[in-house]
Amino acid sequence: MSLLRLYKRFRWYDWVFFAFICGLTVLQVFCSMKNVDYMQGLTEAIVTLDQDAIWWNGGMMVAVAAGQFGCQVVIAILASSMTASLATRLREEVYERVSAYGLSEIDRFSTASLITRTSNDIENVQMSTLLVFRMLFSAPVTAIWAICKIQATSMELTWVAIVAVLIIVLALSAMMFFVLPKFKISQKIIDRLNQVTREGISGVRVVRAYNAEQYQNDKFEKANDDLMNLNLYTSRIMQLMNPLMTIVLDGASLGIYAVGAHLMKSLAIDYATIVAFSSLCIQIIFAFMMLLMLFVMMPRAMVCARRVDEVLRLKPSIVDPEEEVLPDPAIQGEIVFDHVSFAYEGGAHPVIADVNFAAKQGQTIAFIGETGSGKTSLVNLVARLYDVTEGAVLVDGVNVKDMKQATLRKKIGFVPQKGNLFAGTVRENIGFGLDEMDEDTMRKAAETACASEFIEKMPEGYESHIAAGGTNVSGGQRQRLCIARACAIDPEIFVFDDSFSALDFKTDKAVRENLAKAYPNATKLIVAQRVGTIMDADLILVLSEGKVVGQGTHRELLATCETYRDIALSQLSKEELGL
Ligand code: GTP
Ligand code: MG
């Protein structure tokens, strides 16, 4: 079923191609049947030493063989182009769908599995579809045509063919019995292998630092061995096909000639008929074998198709509203959390419980709290990376669910806790997601983020290369580039999720002052661990286990919130806090 659903992606002209393939298949089978007729004629001519007939039949054999060859070439070209474009379309669609997924859907599949599904699974679907196009139609047509032809010849010989086909069917069914269950689990093992490989490569620094190479290698080897054993098992069994085919084909020929010789003695049949019969018999056996091979390949293709289809059918939970509510242009940079609660899918407890606050344009709102208190989860809700479980998040007076995601995200300069850069130049990273960025915007962004000094010291300045993930710059440099990237879109709202943690105190202060000067009208949400970073905020929310345990300015909280006072006193002296 899933496979058929995927086939819906074929365009109308693909079906025209398919009709051509069917037509050519019939033509090709016709040629091969004609070939047998001429072969019979040729044999007769050789026996009777009729020169003219030898030339005529021989010539016709070459001609129909050429016709058959031509048909096969065109079928191959049409079928490959159909399946290759189907695969391209599927990859495109899967990629688009995955890009539209919220983080919770990605978590559900796991990244490694999504990669296998986009690459290996689609390729499997492509290969088996190709096989289907070339075999599913041609094998039965050949078999039926050939069976009709041999029936007329002799019952004794037909029995030989029936026995040979039965042996093939039985042997392949036994084979299927052993390999099918293995094929079904192979994709899961490939997922696992991908996951271990990804983890090992992206975490290579930690692996080295902890001397965990052996541990990681063992994990990898386990997955690799599992895959090898499975492949060995299936390919050993599948490889039995070849010798089996040879035995059955040779056995059938032998049987036909033995029975034929017997029949010839009683003058019931001539030699040429036996030659023709043997050739038809081989074609029938081949056709059955191809059909059964299809049955062996299809279950795996179906597993792959189901996995691809699952991705395509899972609707992203975060979707644009049918009718967008446009915010009042007069309102900018306003954020309201109205009794917001949030729980991760499958998570037992809400990680955000009943949070209320309001931010006006240009204000700075800060969030502080122990690790795991829900700060990241909370700011993710502003950019609608997850949807709230209860309550509502309003940006510029509109519920974020009623706004197009693009409209919402254009307003937000988001600096995630785990700053990620992309392979490319510094310029491309700062202008990430922008159609174009002029020189001034880029320089202003870099200067605000205190990134210009180190960028200019790099060998090629703004054209210097950044490695994927930003692994060739320091943690603090990466954070500053991420801040510059947020500045470059000149947002109404900044979200800094612990974005100053890797900066020294001086730079931390300078960046915040620059931000206040360069983007005075932008509302800033700052998550921080350091009290010093957020002391001047207009509103500070103290979080503990997802609940707001204190809300107010630095002064107010020092007086009223014990948790805040504890955090503050653990970092600064009483004198510094003015107590
Ligand atoms: P720090 O960044 O360490 O200061 O913590 P935080 O305050 O930003 O906490 P965060 O919002 O990341 O996490 C809050 C709670 O949610 C923690 O108990 C996490 O275990 C949990 N959590 C975070 N991310 C996920 C997730 O993707 N899935 C699930 N199920 N739980 C998560
Ligand atoms: Mg966090």
Please tell me the predicted confidence (pLDDT) of residue 479: 92
Query: For ligand 1, is residue 10 a contact (CB within 6 Å)?
Result: no
Query: For ligand 1, is residue 375 a contact (CB within 6 Å)?
Result: yes
Ligand 1, residue 103: give the atom nearest the CA. Answer: 27
Nearest alpha carbon, ligand 1 atom 11: 374
Please tell me the predicted confidence (pLDDT) of residue 160: 86
344, 379, 388, best to mutate for ligand 1 pocket (most atoms within 8 Å of CB): 344
Q: Please state the φ and ψ torsions of residue 450, each to the nearest 5 degrees.
A: 55, 35
Please tell me the predicted confidence (pLDDT) of residue 485: 95
Counting runs of H as helices and runs of E as strands, what totals does the chain give?
23, 12
Query: For ligand 1, is residue 499 a contact (CB within 6 Å)?
Result: no
Please tell me the predicted confidence (pLDDT) of residue 39: 92
Q: What is the pTM of this model?
A: 0.75
Query: For ligand 1, is residue 351 a contact (CB within 6 Å)?
Result: yes
DSSP H or E run through 392? strand 390-395
More confident position, 516 or 136: 516
Nearest alpha carbon, ligand 1 atom 28: 344
Closest CA to 184 of 234, 232, 221: 234
Give 507-546 as a DSSP string: HHHHHHHHHHHH-TTSEEEEE-S-HHHHTT-SEEEEEETT
What is the C-alpha separation between 63 and 57, in angstroms, rounded? 10
Residue 217 clears pLDDT 80, i.e. is over it: yes
Ligand 1, residue 380: give the atom nearest the CA. Answer: 11
Please tell me the predicted confidence (pLDDT) of residue 318: 86
107, 355, 377, best to mutate for ligand 1 pocket (most atoms within 8 Å of CB): 377
Q: How far is the CA of 93 from the centre of ligand 2 (A)?
A: 32
Residue 184 clears pLDDT 80, i.e. is over it: no
Q: How far, in whole angstroms, is CA 541 from its chain's centroid? A: 39
Ligand 1, residue 370: give the atom nearest the CA. Answer: 4
Please tell me the predicted confidence (pLDDT) of residue 64: 95
Q: For residue 71, what pLDDT band results from cuts at 50, 70 and 90?
A: very high
What are the CA-CA distances from residue 312 to residues 125, 188, 196, 503, 558 (Å)? 14, 18, 25, 42, 52
Please tell me the predicted confidence (pLDDT) of residue 27: 95
Rounded mean pLDDT, 247-257: 90
Closest CA to 81 of 15, 14, 147: 14
For residue range 397-448, list pLDDT tens digits in order: 999 999 999 999 999 999 999 888 999 999 999 999 888 888 999 999 999 9
Cβ–Cβ < 8 Å for 550, 557:
yes
Ligand 1, residue 346: give the atom nearest the CA. Answer: 30
